[in-house]
Amino acid sequence: MSAVLNIEDGSVAQPAATPARRPETRTMSMIQALNSALDVMLERDPNVLIFGEDVGYFGGVFRCTEGLQQKYGADRVFDTPIAEGGIVATAIGMGVNGLRPVVEIQFADYIYPAFDQIASELSRLRYRSAGQFWSPVTIRTPCGGGIRGGQTHSQTPEALFAHVSGLKTVMPSNPYDAKGLLISAIEDDDPVVFFEPKRLYNGPFDGDPEQPVRSWDQHHKGQVPQGHYRVPLGQAATVRAGNDVSVLAYGTMVHVALAAAQQAGVDAEVIDVRTLMPLDVDTICNSVCRTGRCVIVHEATRHCGYGAELSAQVQERCFWNLEAPIERVTGWDTPYPHAQEWAYFPGQARVAQALRRALEG
């Protein structure tokens, strides 16, 4: 089941699993929503510990952990040495000893020193010990470009993690989902890599860098309950219902896709994938089988990107309903450049072009 947003009148139909808006809802940016999720979990579960580079005293370079050390103490929210492998390894050991660590890798671009601990250890510990040992670590990490970060502050390496069996991989596109998904991730007994599109931290971004920055105040998904709620892992959200073509996107690209559909005047059904593993194949394939056309959008490079997996899944299940080749709109197969950032970023124009191609096919 997925949440359906009617973009025309802004109303949202929430699935039964998600509680309806409650009075204690307030406007939050994605940063505030993530902070609220961490706050809620620190409050509820004494086994939740938060650590990473600059997350303690300072509250994180993106301020996601602001105020948490003051509130819960330095033994629950603390700074670490600059050693991503060490951060994840330490979290693994803590998880084995009964804790529920939530660690921050300051930028997804710097997650690679921890890749061995994530891909060889964290993901396989339950398997290799036949269930004797496991570690419910959540790894939060900001990802994505559009902030003039060049090749070292812009990557979205989700495909590398979605490829690893034993991991769950999540990428929210708005504050409401970010909080609910992060709570689900922390409560989950499997390890979760949680990507936070940093271009969305302070407001929705439709891919047009010339537009003035918008905040989450005006967006209905900026209304976030203050207490505990979950957005379940493994459920996509249909953020715009439509009939002509299904657009599969996640993170920043959800907003770009919505804007591109409007620009192209196409009645697109836009699906926010939200969790890459486990993947909600049913929501995706039911939509594509109905529209007969599919455009996949992500910011990361194309070759072996997560879009390749989505494309294969759609092809396997919707082949006889497809009216046109599946389109992929992605970052080019180059490192993320600095000066050419907007030529690299798969913006509205490229998505709109792909939508038109899909409709012509």
Candidate segments 89-97, 177-185, 217-225, 297-305, binder of another protein by CB under 8 A: 89-97
Q: Which two tokens stand for residue 168?
A: 């769950």
In whole angstroms, the minimum distance from the beta carbon of 97 to another protein comes to 4
Residue 130 half-sphere exposure, CB side, CA atoms within 13 Å?
Answer: 0
| 203 is a contact residue toward another protein (CB under 8 A) | no
Residues 271-290, mask of contacts with another protein (x by CB under 8 A): -------xx-x---------
Strand, coil or helix: 90: helix
Report in angstroms the alpha-carbon separations of 61 from 52, 105, 287: 11, 11, 39
| 232 is a contact residue toward another protein (CB under 8 A) | no
Which backbone phi and psi does 248 adopt, to 5 degrees?
Answer: -105, 120
In whole angstroms, the minimum distance from the beta carbon of 53 to another protein comes to 13
Distance of CA 94 to the CA centre of its chain: 25
In whole angstroms, the minimum distance from the beta carbon of 116 to another protein comes to 6
Identify which of residues 117 and 154 has a Cβ nearer to another protein in the complex.
117
* Dihedral angle computed from the Cα positions of residues 93, 99, 105 and 106, in that order, rounded to the nearest 10 degrees: -130
Q: Kind and range of the H or E element at 49?
A: strand 48-52
DSSP assignment letter at 325: P
Distance CA 311, CA 54 (A): 39
In whole angstroms, the minimum distance from the beta carbon of 84 to another protein comes to 9
In whole angstroms, the minimum distance from the beta carbon of 288 to another protein comes to 18
The count of other CB atoms within 10 Å of the CB of residue 330 is 20
| 125 is a contact residue toward another protein (CB under 8 A) | yes
Identify which of residues 83 and 349 has a Cβ nearer to another protein in the complex.
83
Identify which of residues 168 and 240 has a Cβ nearer to another protein in the complex.
168
Among 97, 319, 320, 360, binds another protein (CB under 8 A): 97
Q: How many residues bind another protein (CB under 8 A)?
A: 43
Distance CA 318, CA 156 (A): 28
| 99 is a contact residue toward another protein (CB under 8 A) | yes
Residues that bind another protein (CB under 8 A): 49, 75, 80-81, 83, 85-86, 89-99, 101, 113, 116-117, 120-121, 125-134, 165-166, 168, 189-190, 234, 278-279, 281
